[in-house]
Chains A and B, each alone.
Chain A
């Protein structure tokens, strides 16, 4: 107690933060209890009736839930397999640019889209890919198509477009962390490899790439937790009633159930299911990665 009193100032500095976490992090975590209730606003958390797993069984019986779940998982898989490794590849390319000033230029300009809100990015691409937009005009001009492509009303095109826009927005920013890791590689390794007659490609494949793999694995494990979530931005801002069968994701479903239909308990059950799955997935991936390669998070 003596030390506690003597460091009153320090304790007062941490106190607001702990209160903040209690209110804005832990109360909502505890608030997930309404997933098991028939919550209504007047009764509140404490007096609403418990209904066990009824919300969850309703969820598993709803075809919309499965459609949203399927879309979420497919989009997440596409993200993991294409959008997620893209920055690694981009970093390898930037690192090989032979002119220093041009390298800096490419690198810094590639971050720019990260600073534009997804709301603006989505609007921009909706315009450019409009039947009368720039892309279709060019395609028509080059006689690559006979009629404008209906990019936003064709359900089959939503997933590829979501991937492309995801890369456009995030590839440069995502590459920073890999470029930092590349700058930490011991230059002697490259010199030694050169002496032994290894060419550029050999050096990339045998030195640069292996040095990035541990970092990539860690980021990948963290990312696996998002398999059953994410892509809300794309779904809300690029989705519409025409491409709903491929664009509607689980978070949008939860959002509509909760805020538009004010079915708070049901919507919370949906998001609770998601977060449980996310934690489970990270634990499994972490265990698996530890077994397979020794790269573990915790």
Chain B
């Protein structure tokens, strides 16, 4: 925008409305999370008295102490991290490899392959057939049910293809002259030059793995394999689990109900905070990627 000499009354009115709405939007995004944070950093009985809005009144780390004593939560955190790392690496490589082959005009049966892929954008099997399939393949109740069904995504394949197609053909041709095969060219020349699209797709896939609560809740009954979102849902709705957590500590509180509430808030903060802290550093990749995707679409 270039400098304006003076603002009309209309400009000022629009600016004022826009600023008010955006400040409210900022508050609405962060304040709920901030509120949980100060509540969980406050003494539970004092907090239950109300009036806690801006900063912890009686600061304590006790609530977080209870949370970190729970093995289950830590375990589910590790499962979620493992699933996100492995699932993202495997999914991105698998999808990129297929998309590279599909992006080559000279690929025989390319049309047929594309149609096979595109049909799956509009039709899907539905929950029960998927469930029965995983059962047949003995994927249920294993860690692999998180990884294998999420290996390929047609949407991400389209993103990759758009990127691969705009790479200069000379790259491939000169490597061919030197006697390199297709696989070598893909792994050693194309992939290292595709970092922007790799980063973008990796982040999309990672967010899906990180956020997914469904597969853990319905395909896995072994509690040791539950991911964090699933544990959260179970823990927060089932007071007995929380009670156990509280009773493990010798310093029993006078008011079990308000302590319970503060522990719940603290649990939620522990699960939300990592992504909130990491987020400012990774968000620019998301934005780039969404822009690429949006323009292509």
Contacts and interface: CB of A to CB of B under 8 A. Distances in A.
Interface of A: 3-4, 7, 9-14, 16-18, 20-21, 23-32, 34, 90, 93-94, 96-98, 100, 102, 105-106, 108-120, 122-128, 132, 134, 137-138, 141, 168, 171-172, 176-177, 180-181, 184, 199-201, 232, 237, 251, 254-255, 258-259, 264, 267-268, 271-272, 274-275, 279, 282
Given A115-B207, A117-B213, A124 B268 contact: yes
Interface stretch (B25-33, B63-71, B244-252): B25-33
B81 to A, nearest CB: 14
Interface stretch (B54-62, B122-130, B193-201): B122-130
B144 interface: no
Contacts of B95: 17
Interface string B124-156: 111111111100010000000000110110000
B223 interface: no
A258 B127 contact: yes
B149 A97 contact: no
Given A20-B152, A97-B22, A115-B207, A279 B108 contact: no
Binding site of B, secondary structure by majority: helix, strand, loop or mixed? helix
Which of B48, B126, B133 has the largest number of chain A CB atoms within 10 A? B126
Contact of A102 (B8, B22, B29, B131): B22
B116 interface: yes
B106 interface: yes
B173 interface: no
Contacts of A180: 290-291, 294-295
A93 B36 CA distance: 29
Which of B51, B107, B127, B230 has the largest number of chain A CB atoms within 10 A? B127
Contact of A112 (B15, B29, B213, B297): B29
A137 B49 CA distance: 10
A94 B23 CA distance: 11
Interface size classification for chain B: 35 or more
Interface in B153-190: 157, 181-183, 186
Given A7-B107, A128-B35, A112 B50 contact: no
Nearest to B22: A106
B287 interface: yes
Given A119-B232, A271-B128, A14 B98 contact: yes
Contacts of A7: 106-108, 182
Nearest to A272: B126
A21 B116 contact: yes
Contacts of A113: 29
A13 B128 contact: no
A203 B104 CA distance: 44
A137 B186 CA distance: 60
B151 A264 contact: no
Contacts of A16: 94, 97-98
Interface in B76-103: 94-95, 97-98, 100-102
A28 B125 contact: yes
Given A177-B294, A180-B294, A29 B123 contact: yes
Given A96-B18, A180-B290, A201-B14, A13 B126 contact: no
Interface string B256-297: 000001001100100110011001100100110011001101
Given A21-B120, A28-B130, A31-B125, A120 B290 contact: no
A119 B107 contact: no
A259 B29 contact: no
B255 interface: no
A96 B214 CA distance: 39
A4 B97 CA distance: 18
A279 to B, nearest CB: 6
B45 to A, nearest CB: 13
Contacts of A13: 97-98, 100-101, 182-183, 186
A100 B283 CA distance: 17
Contacts of A3: 106, 108
